[in-house]
Structure 1
C-alpha cells in the first residue's frame, strides 16, 4: 500500500476516534511511521489531508449506494435498497461514516460527487416520469429518502442508540417509500 493511502487510512481512524480538531499531524505520522517530509510530500496541511479523507469516504459511500439502486427493477425496490445500502454502509464503516457526518471540508471537491448526483437524479426522474415517485427536486428527495436514516445513523455514531443502523433498515425503508411514492402507487398497492 502506498504511503499516501496509508496516511489517509490512519487519518480516517484518528479523525473518527478523536475528532478533526484534536488529531494532530504528528498523531497520524506516528501511526503510519513516516517522516515529517513524507507526510508533507503528500499533503500540505491537515485541511488538505482531511479533504482527502472526506472525499475517500464519500466515494466509497456513493459506490455502495449507487450499486444498490442502479439495477433495481422498480422505484420501490430502489428506494428501499437505497435506505438499506445507506444503513448497511454506516454499520460496516462507522469511522468513515463519522467523517461524513462531520462538517464538510471547505476545500472538498469530489468529482465523483457530481457524477453520483447526476446519475441518482436521472434514476429518480426516470421513475418520476412514469408516476412511481413524486417529481421532487434533490433537496426534498434527499430529505425524504435518507433524512430519517441519516438521523438514526448520527445518533448511533454518537453512542445515543444501541441498535446498529442496519437493524432498522426495513422500517426506515418503508417510511421512505411511503413518503416518496405517488398517489398512483398508493392505489396500486391496495
Structure 2
C-alpha cells in the first residue's frame, strides 16, 4: 500500500483529484519541512493551484493538517476493524489490534510519521472538538468489542481507560523508534512478539 492507494480509498473518483493532489504534496512538505515551517503558499506552489482552491477545501492550514490527520486515523481504523472482524477469541482480538497497528505503520510510514507529529497540533487546535467526536464514532465498535461482558472474565481487571494503552503501547513505542530511524528492524518483523506481549499485559490467564 502506498500514499496513492490510501488516498484513492479515502477520496475516490475524478472529482476528488485536486484534493488528493493537495493532500499528497502537503503530506510530503509537512514531513520534510515540519508542520510549523510549511506554509499554504509552499503547498500551492507544489500543487500548481490557487490559494483559494486550498482554502475552499480545507479552510486554512490548521484545517488541512486536521484533514490529513483524520484521513490517517480513518484508514488505520478501517484496517483495524477488518482484522478485528476475523477474530473469534479475545486473544485473537487483542492480537488483531496489534497486528493491524503494526501492519498499517509498516505499509504507510509517511502517513504514520505525519500522524505522530500532527497529534499535538490537532488535539490542541481549533478542530480538537471534532477530533473527540470522530474518535468516539470511530472507536465505538472497538470499545463495545473490548468491553463485552463475556470477555471480562479473560482480562485481568484492567481499567477501561488503560486498556488500549496496554495493548498498543509497546507496538506504538517501537513504531515511533523505527520511524525516527533509532532502530532498523521493521515493526512487521516483530508483530508476533509485540502481539504476544500485549496479550500478557491484559490477560488473566497468561498461558491460554
- Give the TM-score normalised by structure 2: 0.81
The alpha-carbon deviation at position 139 of structure 1 amounts to 2.8
SS in 1 for 2:156: coil
For the Cα contact (< 8 Å) 1:125–1:135, is it kept in 2?
A: no
Whether 1:59 aligns to 2:74 is: yes
Structural mapping, 1:169-188, within 5 Å: 169-182=191-204, 185-186=205-206
Query: Against the structure 1 CA distance between its residues 130 and 151, is the aligned structure 2 distance closer, same or farther, given a 3 Å change threshold?
Result: closer
**Structure 1 residues 137-174: Cα deviation after superposition (integer angstroms, max 9, x where no partner):** 44311111000100101111111111111111111101
Whether 1:124 aligns to 2:146 is: yes
Alignment RMSD: 1.9
**Structure 1 residues 81-106: Cα deviation after superposition (integer angstroms, max 9, x where no partner):** 21111011001001111122123412
Which one of the candidate residues 155, 170, 177 is aligned to 1:133? 155
Which one of the candidate residues 48, 70, 86 is aligned to 1:71? 86
> How many residue pairs are counted as aligned between the two chains?
186
Measure, in 2, the Cα distance between the counterparts of 1:129 and 1:88: 25
Measure, in 1, the Cα distance between the counterparts of 2:150 and 2:156: 6
The alpha-carbon deviation at position 135 of structure 1 amounts to 4.2
Ranges of 4+ aligned residues in structure 1 off by more than 6 Å:
none
Query: Against the structure 1 CA distance between its residues 186 and 157, is the aligned structure 2 distance closer, same or farther, given a 3 Å change threshold?
Result: closer
Which one of the candidate residues 81, 92, 104 is aligned to 1:89? 104
Unaligned runs of 5+ in 2: 1-13
Whether 1:21 aligns to 2:21 is: no
The alpha-carbon deviation at position 76 of structure 1 amounts to 0.8
Whether 1:36 aligns to 2:51 is: yes
Query: Against the structure 1 CA distance between its residues 127 and 133, is the aligned structure 2 distance closer, same or farther, given a 3 Å change threshold?
Result: farther
* Structure 2 counterpart of 1:165: 187
Measure, in 1, the Cα distance between the counterparts of 2:31 and 2:44: 16
